[in-house]
Chains A and B, each alone.
Chain A
């Protein structure tokens, strides 16, 4: 029976962004008889929760999150060499909209969502609205996330909900974030929520989908 202390070293390596250290700790756990699912729940989920808590109380930076995200993906790859397990949570469509070519923030959201077991449909940067909505509909997304670094995409963001409604996709939530979009309110952008940070956005996704933080079975 594993207790939480068994995962401390893995959690620390993940939070330090130490990919090789994290992969080694995961291997040690495997050798001790811990199965992949326990490693994900006790190690990866715990580390993401701690990173979330840290980013809430301290100023966070993208580098730290990227390094932790890379370490998480390294562990998942080591645990599942033939490919990651099927996502167990909601499908999320991500994009930076047409005219916005910045995708660093979007990519970080993607990494965190993947690490938390979400299925992510990445529609890329400079993405036309029609393309985003087509893909979201085709892939059965429950949520659309739009990352925006420039204010000029705001008129496009405002069109998303009406376009979804026109297709009858009234249950699909729309979340906005990023340096430009987070200056505006949800009402102004005509979206369901405006996230102040990646973890704020992920919390909204967890809440709005009614999916508990633990990985569903």
Chain B
């Protein structure tokens, strides 16, 4: 059983030879390979080679063609600030005024911003790893991308003050993520990871998730699945138990959950969805490998 088969079996609740291991090794791959993070997130070839080096060393089951949370918004027109040693961030949002929304168009992943570099990374990883190891891409979920397009405070206030208009921002964000995700699948990723930490109940209440986000996530996952994604994989950070009941309707097949969620509670709430999590991020900084192994076993 190879890594991809192992993950696919786990998603289908079939017997596996061992539990799949998928640490979220993103920028660490650059550090591990002695490359600057600023280069890693801008050069697809560097990203792919760092990922290959890391998986060869650690021997886990999936690699990530993933740069940072600024790829989509930059491709739409936001301006990012880059550093050598930290992830880039938006210093000018493309939607400065909500009227700007009408002038935006969904970016072509083959020509816009760093999207082509990410697709290049996906192609290299697939060429080198084939169907042995899972190649994971990444798109932002609608809530997180909406915040990345216009800034978090402006986005949240718009949602309350002008919900219909905010819905249009979410629809546009979903279109961007669908287009980018499908291009990633075409370039070779087995499944784009949908990264939507801002949809967390720590940020917006569960009713907000139900009213604004559920239908958009459902559309996103449906499109990715139709495009050939092997598994609909969702990450929402924080205490997400209150929105877990919506995951089946959204079409989630792998639910990534945070350290603050009790795994047994997650299993009760999502009995038919594959769970991945929930080692405390700080443990990778402070704990020993033994502590982490014990945490996984426990």
Contacts and interface: CB of A to CB of B under 8 A. Distances in A.
Contact of A66 (B153, B201, B285): B153
A119 B281 CA distance: 34
Contacts of B165: none
Interface SS of A by simple majority: helix
Nearest to A184: B282
Interface string A1-35: 00000000000000001000000000000000000
Contacts, number: 58
A99 B259 CA distance: 23
A192 B140 CA distance: 36
Interface SS of B by simple majority: loop
B156 A63 contact: yes
A163 interface: no
B74 to A, nearest CB: 14
- Assign chain B's interface to a size class: 20 to 34
A180 B282 contact: yes
Contacts of A107: 153
Contacts of A17: 160
Interface in B235-249: 237-239, 242
B208 interface: yes
A114 interface: no
A64 B205 contact: yes
A79 B259 CA distance: 44
A60 B208 CA distance: 13
B21 interface: no
B157 A66 contact: yes
Contacts of A151: 281-282, 284-285
B282 A66 contact: no
A99 B37 CA distance: 12
13 contacts: A60-B202, A61-B201, A62-B202, A62-B203, A63-B156, A66-B153, A66-B157, A67-B157, A67-B160, A107-B153, A180-B282, A183-B282, A184-B286
Interface of A: 17, 59-64, 66-67, 70, 99-101, 104, 107, 126, 151-152, 154, 179-180, 183-184, 188
Given A59-B201, A66-B157, A67-B157, 15 more contacts: A59-B239, A59-B242, A60-B202, A61-B204, A61-B205, A63-B160, A63-B203, A63-B205, A66-B153, A70-B157, A101-B87, A101-B89, A126-B89, A180-B282, A183-B259
